[in-house]
Amino acid sequence: MKIKFGKNLIVIIGFMMIILFVFLIFQSEQAVAGSYDGEDLAFAILANDSTFVSSDYTDKDKEGHRQAIVLESFGDFIPTEGQTFALFSTGVAGADIVTTEAENPGDERGTSFKNRYGHPRDDATLTMVLQVPLYIHYLYYDVQFFSAEYPEYVGTQYNDRLTVTVDSPSKGVSQFTLDVNSGYFVLDSNDIPGTGFDIFARDGDPSDVDLVDTTPRTPGADAGASDLIPIGGVTHPISPNEQITITIYIQDVGDNQFDSAAIIDNLKFTGFAKTDIIGRKTYEDLNGGDLECGDTVKYTVTISNTGEANQNNNPGNEFEDILPDNTTYIGGSATATSGTINYDSGLNKITWNGGVPAESAVSLTFQVTVNQDLENGAIISNQGTVYWDSNENGTNDATELTDNPHIDDGIDQDGDGETDDDDPTDIVVFAFEPPSEVTEDFSDDSAGGKATQSYMGQTWFETDDEIIGNNFEVVSGYHYSTSNGFKTQIRASGGVQDWNYTLSELESNLEWWEIWFACGNASEESDLYLDFKDENGIDVARIKFEYVHVGTQLPTDWVIALYYWDPDVPDWSRLNSDFTDGYLYGSWYKLRIEKYDYSSFIYYTLNRTDVGTVDFKPGGQLNVPFSNLAKIEWSSTKNPVACPMFFWDEHKIGLTQ
C-alpha cells in the first residue's frame, strides 16, 4: 500500500507540475496588463460621443498598446467624420512600412508579436458599450482593410481578418467580416500610397516572400486593400434606447506574420438602412506631378455592393460614364474585374454590364489623354452613374452617382441627408505660362529663416540657411517697399552663403537681374563679394562692395564703393553714386544687371531712391551666357569685429522665351 501510494503521489505531483507549467506558459503569452481602456480609440470612431458608455481594449503587445492608434491621416485617407479615426493592426499600427522593425527596405514578414512556438497570436480587440438613442434602428460605419498577405496568399489559409460584432439585446448578434479572401479586396500597393502597405517586391515578383520597399514596380505590388466601404455600406440592426456592445477584432490567421490593418471611422446611428450600392471614382495622373496638357489620366471606378442580396446583370447598363470634356479616350484602355466594359465612340461614353455579388465589389478602369492648349486652371470634371436594382425585381430602378471620396463640398445632391457621397471627380489642369518677370519680395517668408519663391507652383529661388558666424536671413525690421527684407552680415570666417536659382522651372531664359539694397558706413575695413555662377561654378558676373577709409565721419569713417568685374580689362570697374565722391551713403539703391541684345555683353545700372539712374556701365564679354545663372555666392575676405549690415528687397528677374 505504501508503494502504491508513493507511485500515486508521484503521478499527482507530476500532473500538478504539468498544469503549473501550462499555466505559466499561458501567462507568459498574455500582454502585460495595464489601465488602458481604448477610450480615445472609441472617441476617434464615434460620430457622436454622447452615445459612449464604456470601452475596453486588449492586444498582444507586451510593451504597451501599439496594435491600435488614433490618426488624423493615413496615406491619402482622411477622416470621413471629425478630425481623427482609429487604425487597428496585427503589427505596429501606423508603421511607416509594414516590414520587421519598419525598415525600408525590409522583410515583408512584418512586426509580429509571436509566441515562442510561432503560433498565430497577433490580434487586437476594442469593445465598446453604447447607448442607442430614441428612434434609431440601425448602426453603420466606414471601414477599409489592408494586408501584406495580398496578393500571394489570396485563397489560402493565411486569411487575416477583421470582424465587427454588434450584440443587440433586441436584435441579437450581427457580424461583418473583411478578410484577404473577400471580394472587397480590389486595390493593390499602387492605389494606397503613404499607408505603409505601399510596398513592392525588390525582385519584382510578389509571389516570392522577399525584401520589399516603397519604390513602385510593375509588376511587384506586394500588398493590397479593400475599397473604402463608406457610410451606409455596413449596417447592423438595433433598437432604440438599449445598450449595445460592439467588438472590433483584428487577427492573424494561419500564421503570425505579414501585417494587416483596418481603418474604422464615422460610426453613426440612423432610423433607416442606407443604400446597398456605393460608387467611388478616383484618378491618377500617370505622368506624375501637376496635371498638364498631354498627360495620361487613369480613372478607377469601384462599385461596391454592401447589401445581403446580389446585384444581377439586369437589362440595360449597370454603369455609364460620359467622358469629360477636354479629354480623349485611349483606345483599348478600359478594363473590368468582371462583366463587360465597352467604349461607345458615338456617345463618347464608357458602359459596363455585369453583376455585383452581395458583399463584394467590382473595379473598372479606363484612361484618357488631356487635350492640348487648355488654359491654366481648367477643370476636368467627371462623374459616372451606377444603375441598380433596389427591390430585387430584376429591373434597375435606382441610380447612384460616383463619388470622389476625398471631397466633402457640404452639398447633399441626392437628398439622402449626406454631403460626402455625391461629389464629382474634378482635376485642375496646370497649363504653365512662362512669365516675362518674377519677383521675390520676401513678404511670404518667415522672419529669421531662409527665403523661397515660386511661380505657379514652380520653385525658382531658394536661399541657404544661415551659417554660424554670418547673418543670412529674412528680416521684418528693415525693408524697402514690402513687409519683409533680407539681411546679410558676411565674414570670411563664416564661409560662403548661396542664393540658388532654378530657372528651368520657369521655362525661360534670363534677360536681366535686379535688386534694391541699403547699407551704411562702417568703423573698420570690410568687403562683400557677390559671385554670379552657372551650374558648373563658372563666373557669369561679379559684384564687389568694398569699404574705403575716407576719414571724414569718425568713428564710422569707412564708406562703400561698388565695383563690377569687367573681363575685357580684366579688372574691377566702379559704379558711382550721384554723390560728389561717388560713394554709396545711407539710402536705398537698385542694382540692375542686363543682357545686351543678343550679344555676350552685360550692362550694369545703378539707381538711387527719388533720383533715378546715377550710373550705367558696360560689363564686357562674358565667358558663359548670363542666362545660365544658377546661384550667387556671397562671401568676404575680411573678419571685421563690427560687421556691416546689408538689407535687400524686391528682387526681380526678367525672362524671355
Is the pLDDT at 599 greater than 90? The verdict is no
- The reported pLDDT for the residue numbered 479 is 76
Direct distance between the N- and C-terminal alpha carbons of the chain, in angstroms, rounded to an integer: 112
- The answer to whether residue 506 is domain-embedded is yes
- Is there a single domain that holds both residue 478 and residue 600? yes
Phi, psi of 53 (to 5 degrees): -115, -55
Contact call for residues 87 and 261 (beta carbons, < 8 A): yes
> Which whole number is the average pLDDT over 349-356?
95
The confidence score (pLDDT) of residue 51 equals 94
Does one domain contain both 254 and 320? no
Total domains in the chain come to: 3
Backbone angles phi, psi at 362, to 5 degrees: -125, 140
Is 26 part of a structural domain of the chain? no
| Residue finishing a domain among 402, 428, 454 | 428
What is residue 434's predicted lDDT score, i.e. its pLDDT?
80
- Which residue carries 520653385 as its cell? 459
What does the alpha-carbon distance between residue 155 and residue 255 come to, in Å, rounded to a whole number?
Answer: 15
Residue 431: predicted pLDDT: 60
| Dist CA 214 CA 194 (whole Å) | 9
Residue 458's pLDDT band (cuts 50, 70, 90): confident
Q: Are residues 252 and 284 in the same domain?
A: no
**pTM for this prediction:** 0.46
Does 4 map to a domain?
Answer: no
Q: Dump strand ranges (E) for 520-642.
A: 527-533, 539-549, 558-566, 571-575, 587-595, 601-608, 612-621, 631-635
E-strand stretches of 276-318:
277-285, 296-305
> What is d(CA 125, CA 133) in angstroms, rounded to the nearest whole number?
25
Model confidence pLDDT, tens digit, residues 274-333:
446 788 888 888 988 877 888 898 999 999 887 666 788 999 999 999 998 889 999 999
525 assigned to some structural domain: yes
CATH number at residue 388: 2.60.40.740
pLDDT at 407: 55
Q: Return the higher-pLDDT residue of 340 and 156.
A: 340
Compute the mean pLDDT over every residue in the chain, rounded to the nearest whole number: 85
- Return the higher-pLDDT residue of 623 and 498: 498
- Angle among Cα 186, 191, 193 to the nearest 5 degrees reads 140
Note the pLDDT of residue 10.
41
Is residue 429 very low, low, confident or very high in pLDDT (cuts 50, 70, 90)?
Answer: low
Phi, psi of 457 (to 5 degrees): 80, 0
As a whole number of angstroms, the distance between CA 521 and CA 294 comes to 57
- The answer to whether residue 120 scores a pLDDT higher than 80 is no
- Residue 518 predicted with pLDDT over 90: yes
Q: How many CA atoms lie within 13 A of 5 on its CB side?
A: 2
pLDDT band for position 377 (50/70/90)? confident
pLDDT of residue 233: 65
Question: Is-contact 276 390, C-beta < 8 A?
Answer: yes
The predicted model gives 215-221 an average pLDDT of 90
Q: What is the pLDDT of residue 584?
A: 94
Residue 20 above 70 pLDDT?
no
Q: Are residues 398 and 486 in the same domain?
A: no
- Residue 264 and residue 184 in one domain: yes
For residue 270, what pLDDT is reported?
76
Last residue of a domain, one of 274, 309, 330: 274
DSSP 112-165: ----TT-----EEEEEEEEEPPTT--EEEEEEEEEETTTTTTTTSS---EEEEE
Domain identity same for 286 and 201: no
Specify whether 238 is located in the same domain as 224: yes
Question: pLDDT grade, residue 271 (50/70/90)?
Answer: low
Same domain membership, residue 441 and residue 365: no
Task: Count CB neighbours of 471 within 10 A.
Answer: 18
Examine residue 435 and say whether the peptide bond preceding it is cis (omega within 30 degrees of 0). Answer: no
Predicted pLDDT at 456: 75
CB atoms within 10 A of CB 190: 16
Percent of the chain, pLDDT > 70? 87
Can you give the CATH number for the domain in which 452 is found?
2.60.120.200
Judged against a pLDDT cut of 50, whether residue 7 lies above it is answered with no
**264 pLDDT band (50/70/90 cuts)?**
very high
pLDDT at residue 573 greater than cutoff 90: yes
1 inside domain: no
The answer on pLDDT for 187 being more than 80 is: yes
> Residue 598's pLDDT is what?
67
Of 360 and 291, the one with more pLDDT: 360
**Does residue 214 fall inside a structural domain?**
yes
pLDDT of residue 534: 93
pLDDT of residue 282: 84
- Mean pLDDT within 412-436: 62
Q: Does 644 lie in the same domain as 537? A: yes
* 138 and 252 co-located in one domain: yes
- 537-556: average pLDDT: 87
Instruction: Give CA angle at 264 (255, 418), nearest 5°.
Output: 150
Q: Summarize pLDDT for 29-59 with one digit per residue, the tens.
A: 444 445 899 999 999 999 999 999 999 999 9
Give a yes or no: residue 23 inside a domain.
no
For residue 22, pLDDT over 50 is answered with no
Between 394 and 611, name the one with better pLDDT. 611
Q: Where are the beta strands (DSSP E) in 371-492?
A: 379-382, 385-388, 398-401, 425-428, 437-440, 452-455, 458-463, 471-475, 485-489
d(CA 264, CA 46): 9
More confident residue, 108 or 544: 544
Examine the domain organization and report whether 105 and 177 are in the same domain: yes
pLDDT band at 477 (very low <50, low <70, confident <90, very high): confident
- Is there a contact between 51 and 143 (Cβ–Cβ < 8 Å)? no
pLDDT, tens digit, 9 for 90 and up, residues 220-254:
999 999 988 875 567 898 988 899 999 999 998 87
Q: Going by C-beta distance under 8 Å and a sequence separation of 6 or more, which residues neighbour residue 39?
A: 52, 55
* Cα 114 to Cα 120: distance, rounded to the nearest angstrom: 7
Residue range 373-378: mean pLDDT, rounded? 76
Residue 539: give the domain boundaries. 437-656
Nearest-angstrom CA–CA distance, 249 and 253:
12
Same domain as 517, residue 400: no
21 located within any domain: no
Point out the domain boundary residue: 381, 399, 428: 428
